[in-house]
Structure 1
């Protein structure tokens, strides 16, 4: 530590102070030394907690030590409960281990001076130094001299520019023997406190966590109902399990028993983490903690899951959405449209019904043609893709212009196990020619009559021109031989001018002329 410089000598001062007596101090630096001191003090108070006043300093730094009890770290400002004890009886020694976590050796001499009038008795072996990383054990026992709550503060003082390391200790002095329950999981868990199991992947077995029941009292700790005294309740109680160790038998004074809990979150299929909660209750005969409760929490993290997506030309198509092929002439086939299936999850995506992964249905399903994905294994690894194509060949417009169908992709995506895409398209009629014949502005339907002006027999009549129009969308083919024929009883009285046109384009026309020569 930076505060130990220039071959400073340190020492251990350990005192036990009571309300009736002054502190007894043993040890010290040599005259003339610029000494840094390590003080381990037990300040006894009757019935109330008192924190010892720290020595004046400028900008105190944390003291480079740590204290553990039975392997559990007790931070500065923490506490330790000695439980219950019959007044004027001696409790067992509890060992506190002080470790030098600094960068320089701490040197000190002498051992603790015990004050027989204190409620807490401190003992330690004599040592001269504590190397970096080394440990020193101090034992404390609870020996109450008065009834009620007894409390003190264990304090380790370093140089004047460091802050004290303090631990509150307390115990309950009773007139008769009583049990005193405590539950620990590395550190103390008070009734009403919480314990978190952290993150556990859903649908997996979490690690069994061991908890210890302590009887810190002076009488047997019993559990009404036996093994049924330990229960789980709450909204997610079924996702926490008592996995063993608690049989409901009583605990003698000073005895312990372990039991284990496991957090087993169920499979929700959620893509987000979900908090789970339950309440652990242990019914016992402790007079002030007869229903000892611990709030249990845990976070269910999503299991690795596949996630299917479908795109067309980079545009996402959600399940249940429609892809429209637009208008298409009946009985003609559209180009193949390529669709891409991608696994956006972090587990394998399995397409079922191999090799017919896509199932087609719908009123006009036959108007849509599918090319199945080329995926022999039926499995897409995370971020892997495969493709399929669909073409549209609309049936006759006479059966309805609007054509609809659908495809379904069966897979193991938790919430999209049947991925559906609706298909739509419009059937348009096949282009056909549409013939119309007119004379001047008058249209003549097939089978209608055109009357020539009266003409003197054996004279040359008027030559009249007729127009053939194609009002349709396809070429009008004139297929007769001859192209135009005049028939009937008096066919010889009508003369057709030369006409050789064989076809008329859509929207175009041609003409022919006929003269009446009676």
Structure 2
């Protein structure tokens, strides 16, 4: 009887196989959709003793995806020990896995029909993929909104003086070569391609494109970049760019005490010097120095006559004029003097004519107060820095912010009350300094009578009782005519204690010493609470030491006569405290064994860097 066997690439394919294999050719692999077809040849063998008849019409039938076809049919009769071949061709019409079942009707009594599955995958054809970035940030094709992030926004450049160049990266993210044409720009002629990219990019390769903005007129300038290429869906690759042309111009800015003064300001401030504060009528004038800076790109011309004009109370005068012109990034200064002869509040307006297009003239108000002669004038300072009455913003610089203090601890800050007037200043309240709340306490009050030109101090202690920030108000009542109630705010923050550990080599609160261990007998007590007699623990984390010659026997010392140590005196303690010089020492007055005031020694105090230790001086008596 006949016996059918089907092989691919010389490997038998079992009838009923449903898993295509590369080894027997049933897995056709990948083929490009609508591209080159893949053909496999299969062999039908008759290993029986009778003719093998292929009875199908046609002999080989395919059931499944039409992407497969039999392109060569086998012979219908196969003699014993003979063979015939057929061909199947895979031509994928769409992407993805494709399969078909091969069926061969025959007269083999146990393998008819003979079936097996063949498969393959349709893949896309290789193609280029263009990608453009600026500053490492993607620029989408067709983008019409320039941004700073990707460099399509060029910012400002001065007409006829400066230019700005942006470099863009072009990369081929595809699987075949990317071809680039000449990059062109459309729009304002202020932009130009100053470096073209290379013409061809292999897969994964990149190149750069430089575009330069050189404004020819002021205002917003814009253009569109166009990159011809062979990317099927992004040709041409386009994106918008823009920049602003500027004209060189001066830009005036005035400041006092390092703080800016806005043009048109009508509210004088102490912080920028436009409020001169208080002085005594007829006393030494107060002066303020103001700075005119040019933040622009062209010289700033001060055009007034005089350069700085004052209108208002004549107690203000310009005593030092600025210079002109002021070069870009440069500055000049002028000085205004406040010299009142009568008591009162005075004001004036400063006007500076200039060629800044939008701040001419530059104006701001100034003010000052004068008190009558023979009047007291209170001033309060912390750390040498004035604390303005009404200050509600505590600051560590002037000591009004006590910072962080551990619960169970406290911090003391000193403040100074000065009398800058010409008559005695009296603090009229009892107590003279009052603090709201309980966590800030006046521990040292000030004097209540302060002569003209003199000062007094007071101390406030902050002892937090709970964790968190605490604010309280200080009030000082006095006979100052315009600051009778001098008020300012204090603040501090209570924090949980950060306790230390004995043996960590750091002397913490409550420890007398810490030699880096918790052993006893080495000079520092095992719990770090005390320094043993005759020991010195002067360096944190280091072993404590004894001192031969201090009159205290400690550690490895056998004896210690203090200044009486001698290597030649009979009966004296040797100079290294290692023993006694042989012989009988004459008894010294007050040192007899059992004598009044004698015994083994007296008590002495040893002062180290970490505390006061009480120890017994032991003198060896003869």
TM-score, normalised relative to structure 2: 0.34
**Larger relative contact order, structure 1 or 2 (CA cutoff 8 Å, min sep 6):** 1
